[in-house]
Chains A and B, each alone.
Chain A
Amino acid sequence: MNKIFEIPLYPYTRHPDQDASSPVRRKVVIVGAGPVGLAAAIDLAQQGIEAVILDENDRVSFGSRAICFAKRTLEISDRLGCGDPLVEKGVQWNIGKVFFDERKVYDFNLLPEGGHRRPAFINLQQYYFEEYLVNRLRALESEGAPVSIRGGSKVTSIEDRGDHVSLVVKTPEGAYTLEADWLIACDGAASPARQILGLDFVGRVFEDNFLIADVVMDAEFPTERWFWFDPPFNKGQSALLHKQPDGVWRIDLQLGWNIDKEKEKKPENVIPRLKAMLGEEVNFELEWVSIYTFQCRRMERFRHGRVLFAGDSAHQVSPFGARGANSGLQDTDNLVWKLKLVIDGSAPASLLDTYDVERVYGADENILNSSRSTDFITPKSEQSRIFRDAVLDLSEHYAFARPLVNSGRLSMPCTYDTSPLNTTDALPDAPARARPGSPCPDAPVGSGFLLDQLGKGFTLLVLNTDAPAAVSVGEVEARTLSIAATKELAERYLGEATSAVYLIRPDQHVAARWGRYDETAVKSALARACGKEL
């Protein structure tokens, strides 16, 4: 077997920092080379900030774990320079089917809106996602960007010294001390960093177990998402079948609470279950099997002085709705531009507190959504099961009930409605989807797409009106992108308005908008968006 997750991609090698006479200070150290740590490093490196990733392991995620990567993640990946390989490899799907008991109750088509560069989402094994991020990081490194990844490097101690962070890194050849101006802890749900610093992680455990299996088969199942409530082959529980690249299928089987995990994980117990689901005649091979209990919880705060938590270390959700890795990438998307401004001295360190505010808000939204899905899939009382089954029965006959069926809501990017970085909406009649706080909706522009032109610093998007080529506040500049609005741009950014000026943050979220350019207003909004008015 030569699976990518069995190959050391960043094996331990001795680093000169280990032999330095006094601890070496790095700009940003990232603990963990999962999807979130890798994205943070690439983002920093692209902006010329030194980033060192430390990971105790030396390879990508064992087994698949995450499989659904949402549109926003693909857009962020585009900004990170690795969207194409993800989308080329990923499986796209639009049709979903819902089964209840022995029958199909309805199907749906996601019918994604046209005029976006990226699909609603793709299915892709997490190990490929990570591999492509590692490739991108390596490419940047070979171009001379200040980024590196150290495998076999386990962080065992973290101390915030006020003006820097001091770490102890354990390697196969012994431990050494390393210093960092800033530390980003992307060390996963079990986060040793969180534990070392004695920080909380509270929330809710769902009393349920899920068998997650990736099987390789050449069966003729279509490229659709199939979800079963209470199927004959898994009575009283749920099941999911979803396609990944390379003929790999993801199967989730709900097992209930009182089970023997070790026993259920054994192939001799897994295989009969899968045969009952797929049919006796289907040939398959198990690629990966695991049993999970899901939790929804988060840290109270994601910023602790010079230590910033991102991804699963900061928040954990049940996988229904695919919000783990997807929201983790939104974390670093939010964090890195702020960290850059602070490191450059162009914004006060308190800007980093807005990372906390905005992403805690995002985490709460994700936790709410994924808790609701879990409550629908696993009703918590007799009465909630009665309602759940009533919804499913009705959904077979009436369209109205279908939106109530909740087997996981698509992961959508968070709109930071209450962010202190927003300026009051001066164009409230324009589309709500582009209000301050929103991630910019994509739209075709010329032969490309809008989002390809956003994300390198602040942008002033000017539609059907005039503005100077750039506006600055201190060292921070917003560059103008002036476009005559096409049909999609008008639909998504103008609505009833005839012209608009949008101030867009480096993470492609709207900070402010107006009908026309007004220098004082734009400057004040730019200052606010950089945290200068906190």
Chain B
Amino acid sequence: MANLILTPNLPRADDTYADLLAAHEGLSKAASDALNARLILILMNHVGDQAIIREALKAAKLENESA
């Protein structure tokens, strides 16, 4: 069974989040969209597990919330 981590997992969460924003700074909407797309593809490849990616897609849709 795949195991998508949905609990805190970033050691320096604020720093990493700031890195993400910094990468987009000054970019046009189109360039930002392109950057996001490339980033998603790179991370997807890094994960390398279809089941986890499917779980992540589902989680991103906010569809499996038990509330």
Contact = CB atoms under 8 A, between A and B. Distances in A.
Contacts of A394: 38, 41-42
A387 B45 contact: no
B27 interface: no
Interface string B17-57: 00000000000000001100110111001000000000000
Contacts of B45: 400-401
A401 B34 contact: no
B41 A391 contact: yes
A106 to B, nearest CB: 15
A386 B41 contact: no
A404 B38 CA distance: 12
Q: Taking each of A386, A390, A398, A404, which has the highest tally of chain B beta carbons within 10 Å of its own beta carbon?
A: A390
Interface residues of A, number: 11
B33 A386 contact: yes
Contacts, number: 25
A393 interface: yes
A389 B45 CA distance: 16
A393 B34 contact: yes
B41 A404 contact: yes
Contacts of B41: 387, 390-391, 394, 401, 404
Q: Taking each of B38, B42, B45, which has the highest tally of chain A beta carbons within 10 Å of its own beta carbon?
A: B38
Contacts of B42: 394, 398, 400
A391 B38 CA distance: 7
B29 to A, nearest CB: 11
Interface string A398-421: 101100100000000000000000
Contact of B37 (A387, A398, A400): A387
A485 to B, nearest CB: 34
Contacts of B33: 386
A400 B47 CA distance: 12
A490 to B, nearest CB: 30
A389 B34 CA distance: 8
Contacts of A386: 33-34, 37
A375 to B, nearest CB: 16
Contacts of A401: 41, 45
Contacts of B37: 386-387, 389-390
Interface of A: 386-387, 389-391, 393-394, 398, 400-401, 404
11 contacts: A386-B33, A386-B34, A386-B37, A387-B40, A389-B37, A390-B38, A393-B34, A393-B38, A400-B42, A400-B45, A401-B45
Per CB-CB distance, the 7 closest pairs between chain A and chain B, nearest first, are A390-B37, A400-B45, A390-B38, A386-B37, A387-B37, A386-B33, A394-B38
Given A386-B34, A398-B42, 17 more contacts: A386-B33, A386-B37, A387-B37, A387-B41, A390-B34, A390-B38, A390-B40, A390-B41, A391-B41, A393-B38, A394-B41, A394-B42, A400-B42, A400-B45, A401-B41, A401-B45, A404-B41
